[in-house]
Amino acid sequence: MRIGVIKGNGIGPEISAATMRVLEATGVQPKWVFIPVANEARELYGHPLPSEVIECLKNIELCIKAPLLAEKLEGRISCPQADGSVATYPSINNAIRRELKLFVNPRFIRGYKGISGRHEKMDLVIMREITEDIYIGWERELEDGTAAEAIKRVTLTASQKVAEYAFEYARTHSRKKVSCLHKANVLHATDGLFLRTFRDVAQRYPDIEADDIMIDAACYAIVRDPLRFSVVVTLNQYGDIFSDLAAGLSGSLGLAPGANIGDHFATFEATHGAAPDIAGTGTANPLALILSGAELLEHAHYVKEAAAIKLAVAQVVEERQTLTPDLGGSATTDQVADAVSANVKKIQGYV
């Protein structure tokens, strides 16, 4: 199986190497294809995300993507299109999603004994629509700098697609409830369209409970009772914020895997960022990206191998003997990867 690897920057190279070792420990024997992006691509092609890289990704179909730095107040990316036009995106991350037509960002939040406190039974998946909403970056500033505005775009097609994906995921993963997060009481046109579409789709899944809740109320509800949610579907910006809140309740962003899924291609990445302040120190927590690798294997129908990684990570976390400083330990990135790999081999009967 060919798997692309975007090593990222900051802590990216360290945690991507750790993830590769763990996936190899399952016996899957992936063929790694390294994809230059950002500074690597700029050195090779003079552009952080050239068309050559996009075409390479399209031909691979599955990719481990380590974090990429998203610069504040800058970092817009221009990508030439087949028709001669140029598309401009707010960041490399956004450009990859849009160029590869990825439409949903599942983020997986799970509680762990000894880490998550009273939230150790948390188990939810947040389905974040990623093709539109305010994050498409259609904004402008007035010439005198006294005001700025942005366009929030929501379409029936995109709303329907992400809602269907959420319900199908719930059905195939034995989850009984899908919740829609919105602010339709204020944003009648945009969030209203998203909510109406969700309700229409829900009628086709009578075996799954469907409810909706306003995003501010949802933030309160998850703090009070994280078990209220199982599968959540929401718009781009809300999903970005809500998933970080949920990860914080579970104990650490360092335990929150994610993915970006399209019809023909998917990337798998941690929810956290590039953490340049600890890059090169050997203390970065690789578990979120390792768990993202498990989601990749499950997506590719290596279900037993994916389950072995998830169980191996849970054992390492709950034993609390080999954890990085962010989780209260003193282990290095490599030591954590070695511990997970050893557990994977034991679980699968290789040792």
pLDDT one-digit tens code per residue, 207-256: 999 999 999 999 999 999 999 999 999 999 999 999 999 999 998 889 99
- Is residue 39 included in any domain, yes or no? yes
Q: What is the DSSP string of 20-68?
A: HHHHHHTT---EEEE---THHHHHHHSSSS-HHHHHHHHHH-EEEE---
Q: Report the DSSP pairing between strands 123-129 and 102-110.
A: antiparallel
Q: State whether 301 and 219 are in the same domain.
A: no
CA pair distance 68, 53, nearest whole angstrom: 15
**Is the pLDDT reported for residue 91 higher than 90?**
no
Mean pLDDT, residues 15-33 taken together: 97
Q: For the domain that residue 159 is a member of, what is the CATH number?
A: 3.40.718.10
- Is residue 212 included in any domain, yes or no? yes
- Is residue 258 included in any domain, yes or no? no
CA pair distance 314, 159, nearest whole angstrom: 34
* Stated pTM of the model: 0.93
pLDDT band (50, 70, 90) for residue 16: very high
**Is the pLDDT reported for residue 289 higher than 60?**
yes
Using the 3D structure, point to which of 250, 276, 306 is the last residue of a domain: 250
DSSP helix/strand/coil, 221: helix
Instruction: Specify which residues 108 forms β-bridges with.
Output: 125
User: Both tokens of residue 119?
Assistant: 């939230």
- Is residue 259 included in any domain, yes or no? no
DSSP helix/strand/coil, 339: helix
Q: Report the DSSP pairing between strands 77-80 and 86-89.
A: antiparallel
pLDDT band (50, 70, 90) for residue 71: low
Nearest residue to 35 via CA among 76, 70, 64: 64
How many domains does the chain fold into?
2
For the chain, the C-alpha Rg in angstroms (whole number) is: 20
- Is residue 244 included in any domain, yes or no? yes
Q: State whether 124 and 220 are in the same domain.
A: yes
Q: State whether 97 and 131 are in the same domain.
A: no
Least confident span in 71-80, 117-126, 131-140, 293-302:
71-80
Range of the domain at 297: 1-102+264-351
DSSP helix/strand/coil, 186: coil
Q: State whether 204 and 241 are in the same domain.
A: yes
Contact 96, 53 (CB under 8 A): no
CA-CA-CA-CA dihedral for 290, 294, 300, 302, to nearest 10: 130
pLDDT digits 0-9 by tens, 114-150: 888 889 999 999 999 999 999 988 899 988 889 999 9
CA pair distance 315, 339, nearest whole angstrom: 9
Q: State whether 215 and 286 are in the same domain.
A: no
H or E stretch at 195: helix 190-202
Instruction: Specify which residues 107 forms β-bridges with.
Output: 126, 258
Q: State whether 76 and 176 are in the same domain.
A: no
Using the 3D structure, point to which of 197, 215, 250 is the last residue of a domain: 250
Contact 254, 288 (CB under 8 A): yes
